[in-house]
Structure 1
Amino acid sequence: MAKTVVIHAHGGPEVLTIEDRAVGEPGPGEIRIRHHAVGLNFIDVYQRAGVYPMQMPQALGMEAAGVVEAVGAGVTHLKPGDRAAYAAQPPGAYTEARVMPAAQVCPLPEGISFEEGAAMMLKGLTVQYLFHRTVPLKAGDTVLFHAAAGGVGLIACQWAKSEGIRLIATAGSEEKCRLALEHGADAAINYNDGPFAPKVRELTGGRGVDVVMDSVGASTFEGSMDSLRPVGMMISFGSASGVVPPVSLGVLAKGSYQLTRPTLFTHIARHEDCQAMAKMLFEKVTSGAVKIRIDQRYALEDIAGAHRSLEARATTGATILTL
């Protein structure tokens, strides 16, 4: 049996309940893993609230790290006793132990702790696909990155610095802007001080940025488009402030802009791609180019409080559950 966070209906943090669930044995292509730490992400809030509707009852959580206890037939990249970490579907990471598909579970290097592993997989793999699979970025390019003091953002600031990419950060307070700058951002804009697009134009000599990476959504979308250079790329990869309303293709004609709405789980769907992406992420961390900052730790029993903090955008860096 394992304590597991489950919802029986969509709603606020009050719908999160903890139940004892049987774990069972892994079938073909599966593993059983005992978690040491679990990562929290905004997608968990979307799933709980019904932005992404789910069948009930539903366990939550997309990211964790721990030790493999058993493997099913056909699993060759992991064995019992291995340290491992993942960002993967289906949800169910908010638990002490689980049986799950093995393909997106990755061997965790000894130099990375379980807490770091739980805090970095979904966020770090997101940065990897943004910088290396969505658009071909190169040294000297300029990126506007929203919510840069969050878990994904602080990894992105360091990743950009390690590859010679100029990153202009936005965040919701002066403290968060300082945090982004400390982690490698070249400039930071407090978007509570007024429209950010004119400041982006000023920072780029009127040209605009090559790429915008926007996980905030409704409240930043228009300004993001106004921050692009001609033929620039707008990457909308989240909706923390609400879902972006329908967009007329005519909006893109203003500068022959490009627009995409990618998801991590498309990019890691193939086992080979997921493992290669994780290898690059692990190399960034073990080399010291990227440090994983964990600013909030909660017990499993305080999962509702953790969600309230995430929704209030009151967190910095990564948030984890400790088991």
Structure 2
Amino acid sequence: MVTRAIVRGVGHYLPARVVENAEFEASLDTSDEWIRSRSGIERRHFAAETETTSDMAIRAARAALADAGLAPDEVDAIILATSTADLTFPSAATMVQAGLGMTRGFAFDVQAVCAGFVFALANANALIATGMARRVLVIGAESFSRILDWTDRGTCVLFGDGAGALLLEAGQGEGNSDDRGVLAVDLNSDGRHRDILYVDGGTSTGSTGYLRMLGKEVFRHAVEKLADTAHAALEKAGLTGADVDWLVPHQANLRIIKATAQRMQLPMDRVIVTVQDHGNTSAASIPLALSVGKAQGRIQPGQLVVIEAIGGGLAWGAVVLRW
């Protein structure tokens, strides 16, 4: 018998403000058709002025706890994936811990940009597999609207805000690919490509900065690396693309999603797509998509799910899990 990290609950939160593509036409040389054709995005949510990343994370965490039927103090750890924490420190995860009224355990942030949720899920799986935690809340939450250059039509129309969460719980498996829970993980990074996707602020500049991206370069790396990491994770689990029930990719761009699915020989009716409604919510995009997929009745217990993402760093990876 082996210990597996099994999905017990899932939830998400989206800010109330919905921004349609047409809203950008007043201030930018762009159009709804231009944005849709290049990204597949139709709308996105932006956080209210007083709404922080940790606020959204708390809402998503509460939804996941309710789905699992658990109280905050029944959780051992919180791992929050974000690139837009409320403050430089303390971690937003500790703010979520306090906001939930959780008086035990530990909490910390993971920063791998759009790949953050994959890296956070890998950390949670390791904590559970080694017995350091029994239940872990894994959250992705972002307020990217606060680091966008509103004069750059190549970036500011692509991103949105929101949060999603999974509650993982230790369970016993036979040690084969029929087990429920996380079956395999593949993580990668290559710091040589940091200049194609970054924020031009931080302690070195004394300012928050804005997101900067070389879109064509990011697209090229994404299509190549996403399919490769998904295949690597499946191979570690002793599975192939033919075994996959659902691909839940990072929701950055519909063209990237379609190209990745094609390279994996998966039809689009086996891919969860939410980018049209959420935009790119960075580390929040995969848990948001998982929560929506379950709420729609598409993702069912026992099904094989592959998640994969790439973000600034570059950092990329995939997780294979049985729901």
Query: Normalization by structure 2: what TM-score?
Result: 0.28
Higher helix share: 2
Q: Which has the higher contact order (CA 8 A, sep 6+)?
A: 2
Larger radius of gyration: 1
Q: TM-score, normalised by structure 1?
A: 0.28
